[in-house]
Amino acid sequence: MSYTDLTPIPFSNVEITGGLWKERIDTVRRVTTRDCIRKCAHNIENFRRAAGLSQGGFEGVFFDDADIYKVLEGVSYVLMGGADAQLEREADEIIDIICAAQQEDGYLYNFFVLGDLSKRWTDMDHHEDFCVSQLVEAGIAYKQATGKDKLYNAALRAVDQMMHSIGPDGDSWISGHEGIEMALVRLYRYTGEERFLRDAEWFVEQRGHTKLRLPISYYKTFFTDEYCQNTVPARELTKVTGHAVRAMYYYSGLADIAAIRGDKELQAALRRLFDNVVPANLYLTGGIGQSAYNEGFTRDWSLPNLTAYCETCASIGMAFWNHRMELAHGEAKYADLVEREIYNGILSGLSLKGDHYFYENPLASVGTMHRREWFHVPCCPTNLVRFVPSIGGYLYATAPGAVFVRQYIASHAHIPLDGGEVELRVQTDYPWNGSVRIEVAACEGEKRLMLRRPGWCERWTLCKNGEQVQVQEEQGYLPVSVRAGDVVELELDMPVRRVHADPRVAEDAGRVAIMRGPVVYCAEEVDNPGIPTEYFHADLALQKDAPLSTAFDADLLGGVQTVQAGGVRMIPYYAWDNRAGGGMAVWLRETD
């Protein structure tokens, strides 16, 4: 049976009940949301000044408004997971200031409100529409979390002002930083108003036809059609180009529109793009965007490790896009890539304590790369604060008569299906082991449970009510029929394994990496002393026949599965640089 057009189950229907992700969500609740609010103080001050509540001009980077919107979205998701009166009170105060800064016509962008309003909507790279997109996402989220619509109404007014200024009746427009497409589709799905979907399509249809306009941007030196994904119309796309985050947001918006409209040409273009990203522009960790110069793509098969940019936001964007691709096509390979991102490329961006961050995520270090408290452009911390607490939205989806279990995380889910409800309780210590127990606590009649068989897993066993069952894999999923009271147990074989790069990746010739399940491992100098820091990443070696073993260390890095590869001790890549500084390497020299 072939499934397409899956319906995602929102994370508000899913309680994360234990394991690695509950710990990460709790850390974001306790630490990261408050850390981001505190460090976005100047962003809030800009709104206060724009509202006339204090004196002074604009401070920071022109698109700084977006970061406080993302933090408010993250706060919303935290509040959906449980009441937090103090956090909600802080958010309400910030929202009051934001709304006081909004102009009478709905315009809300502090750089020009505190500067020269005559220049608004004249520079395609000034992120005005991107800031509107983040305001929309935050407004919807906060209304869903609290029932309060003040920020949501401000977002609606901002959208109306934007479309009146640059929409179909105005001049043509290319968004310098995509994101507005996803936000408008979300607004369409939330309101049911067709105009928002048409607006999203209008933004898409401009690309490949419209000349860039940027009279004041300081990015002029490389703000090109390629950088902005403006080389060809959407349906003619064949190759990823330009800024990695912007590209992923663009493709996510395209995937939304293609799914709603049933646009086969657009879906074909997205599949071509996927086949170009994977594997020719994809790091083992799921990182994308090789170059710091353009924060984006360079050329196929060029994947340097020490200088890899791999922005945290780009990995989040990859999760956004592949989440949508799987919903459209029902193929596990897209969920496999989401899994790679969430356990490696994304999770690495947040320190275990929750208040230090990676913007770049290289696959090797000479001891000079460290997590930082904050950044001049803090898009990655503020993106993490909204992604982590929403992880439950990536776990389940439905098709008629079927529930798809896409990611294995300890959880309790209420899943609407065929006019009734399926209630699942999942117990697992994934990714540290491959045992997954699913109790069907409620189910009307018989339904199909579709369990993803991860692409890395070669052997597995499936039992229902204690008896082993044989099934025929469908699109990377293992189907099993269930009724209320059934217990399904999936055992995924999870050996430590060696990984070799495609021979076209010259950087990794003669090297080997280690994975276990979905987790990429790395070696840190703190665990493997003896090689000078600056040579550690180049000289650390693993013999071809060296034994590989694993053990769980509850006292290390919050509790992780470690790997002993010959004489080399390795930890999960996401957890590196949480202890003493030093060298780090994912790809090790392979010797005889």
* Cα 139 from chain centroid (whole Å): 20
8 A C-beta contact, residue 294 and residue 233: no
Look up tokens 């790997």; give the residue: 563
8 A C-beta contact, residue 243 and residue 294: yes
Look up tokens 């590869």; give the residue: 565
Longest dimension (CA), the chain: 72
What's the sign of the alpha-carbon dihedral 66, 71, 77, 83? negative
8 A C-beta contact, residue 340 and residue 286: yes
8 A C-beta contact, residue 328 and residue 9: no
Residue of 45, 295, 339, 474 marked active site: 295
Rounded to an integer, what distance in angstroms lies between the CA atom of residue 131 and that of residue 108? 9
Both tokens of residue 493? 């074989």
3-state secondary structure of 136: helix
8 A C-beta contact, residue 173 and residue 125: no
Rounded to an integer, what distance in angstroms lies between the CA atom of residue 174 and that of residue 203? 7
8 A C-beta contact, residue 242 and residue 186: no
Give every CB contact of residue 48 below 8 A, 6+ residues apart in sequence. 54, 97, 101
- The answer to whether the bond into 532 is cis (omega within 30° of 0) is no
Let me know how many helices (H) and strands (E) the chain has, helices first: 16, 22
8 A C-beta contact, residue 339 and residue 366: no
Give every CB contact of residue 174 below 8 A, 6+ residues apart in sequence. 124, 206, 207, 210, 212, 213, 228, 230
Both tokens of residue 339? 């899994």
What DSSP string describes 551-581?
EEETTSTTSEEEEEETTEEEEEGGGTTSSS-
φ/ψ of 493, rounded to 5, equals: -65, 130
Residue of 36, 131, 228, 379 marked active site: 379
Burial class (CB in 10 A: 0-12, 13-18, 19+), 154: buried
Please indicate whether residue 295 is annotated as part of the active site.
Answer: yes
Beta bridge partners of 491: 435, 461
Q: Could you give the C-alpha distances from 29 to 348, 358, 386, in angstroms and in order?
A: 18, 19, 11
3-state secondary structure of 232: coil
Residues 50-59: contacts with CB under 8 Å, at least 24 apart: 50/101, 50/110, 50/113, 50/114, 51/97, 51/100, 51/101, 52/100, 53/97, 53/100, 57/114, 57/115, 58/110, 58/111, 58/114, 58/115
Measuring CA to CA, which residue among 26, 199, 228, 256 is closest to residue 123?
228
- Catalytically active residues are 295, 379
